Amino acid sequence: MAVWSAELPVDPLPALLSADNQALRTFASRDLLGQKARPVQDLWALPEPLKILSKQQRDGSWRYPGQNRARFPEINYDLLETFRQLGLLVYKYGFDQGHAAVRDAAEYIFTCQAPEGDLRGILGTQYMPYYHGVICELLLQASYGDDPRLDKGLDWLLSMRQDDGGWIVPMQAIPAHQKVRELWSAPPVAPDRSLPSSHLATGMVLRALVVHPRWRQMPEVLAAADLLKSRFFRPDAYNDRKAPHYWTKFQYPFWWTNLLTALDSLARLGFSATDPSIRQGTQWFSDHQQDNGLWKTSYEQKGRSNLSAKEQEAMLWVSLAACRMYARFYRDPLS
């Protein structure tokens, strides 16, 4: 048994290594056991990524279904869909800029970069540091760490911090009755730096900063991480995903801030597993592990005893991510 798995009531490796999903088994063997895996490029020819690639547009984007483009021309949900589909390729099948589809998608994403350095469009003309952060994280995972456009985007994130060291989405602070139609095409609302940060936004921003070897060493990043771990299981200061139960609703690829994404970021920064806040977080995973060694996502349909195939696969990927988090804290074998 690996050192990290000894920290859990049940060893999750048998369930992960016996999964039907070839990509998941590959990453589990490589990341959790340190075994030499087959070339990740072999995964690029699987039916699932080929299906995703077949829907990529000529400009490198993926088209968001169902958007009323005539009514909301300033809202660019194609950027959102590109983030979602590219995330599946990168996080589930190991795609990187060695594949032409990733290069095309990255170039499309950079067309959405404003002169200030931030990505815009999902909120119209308004700042979106949370989506900006996770899209930058995705590009970093796809081997764009040396791109000066990405450096500019990460610098912009640091420039947008609140006085308490975290981040907000400036539109979060606008009362609902003031969010009129015209606001989505107006000049971006500047953040009120005196307001408390949002752990939703802070966690999503941090994910970009912690995967870059230069930015993760900055004191501003470590201070924001300290702030994030002080918020575990507490409600957010703003209405988006405010309730405490959102801390334990998990997705993979990662999307919103939750306990797993936060612990993963803290582990990457080198925080100790003995830190009281981190111990509180990992204890939750220990207490909620199933008999098969896996964790539910909290998105399973209630009232059903059996999970659908889609729910089972989601549970496996979330569990793989949880194991990677444990391996990072206990340095065995993932560093």
3-class secondary structure, 237: coil
Calpha distance 314→91 (Å, rounded)? 13
Supply the pLDDT for residue 85. 98
Q: What is the pTM (predicted TM-score) of this model?
A: 0.95
Does the pLDDT at position 333 exceed 70?
A: no
Residue 150 backbone phi and psi in degrees, to 5: -75, -40
78 and 63 Cβ atoms separated by less than 8 Å: yes
303 and 26 Cβ atoms separated by less than 8 Å: no
Closest CA to 87 of 136, 46, 47, 22: 136
Supply the pLDDT for residue 179. 84
Supply the pLDDT for residue 2. 75
Q: How confident is the model at residue 289 (pLDDT cuts 50, 70, 90)?
A: very high
Does the pLDDT at position 334 exceed 80?
A: no
Supply the pLDDT for residue 302. 79
3-class secondary structure, 106: helix
With a pLDDT cut of 70, the percent of the chain lying above it is 97
Span 161-190, average pLDDT: 92
Question: What are the angstrom distances between the C-alpha of 58 and each of 63, 64, 78, 89, 105?
Answer: 11, 14, 13, 17, 10
Does the pLDDT at position 133 exceed 60?
A: yes
H/E stretch holding 279 reads helix 276-287
Supply the pLDDT for residue 332. 61
Calpha distance 170→120 (Å, rounded)? 13
Instruction: Report the length, in residues, of the chain.
Output: 335
Average predicted confidence (pLDDT) for the chain: 94
Ranges assigned E (strand) in 65-133: none
Does the pLDDT at position 105 exceed 90?
A: yes
Q: How confident is the model at residue 138 (pLDDT cuts 50, 70, 90)?
A: very high
Q: Tell me the β-bridge partners of 121.
A: 124
Does the pLDDT at position 20 exceed 90?
A: yes
Span 300-306, average pLDDT: 79
Does the pLDDT at position 154 exceed 60?
A: yes
Does the pLDDT at position 287 exceed 80?
A: yes
Calpha distance 199→229 (Å, rounded)? 9
Q: Tell me the β-bridge partners of 113.
A: 119
Tokens 């006085």 belong to which residue?
Answer: 163
Does the pLDDT at position 115 exceed 90?
A: yes
**237/35: higher pLDDT:** 237
pLDDT one-digit tens code per residue, 182-198 = 888 999 999 999 999 99
pLDDT one-digit tens code per residue, 54-82 = 999 999 999 999 777 667 778 999 999 99
Supply the pLDDT for residue 70. 65
Span 252-264, average pLDDT: 98
Calpha distance 128→231 (Å, rounded)? 21
Q: How confident is the model at residue 177 (pLDDT cuts 50, 70, 90)?
A: confident
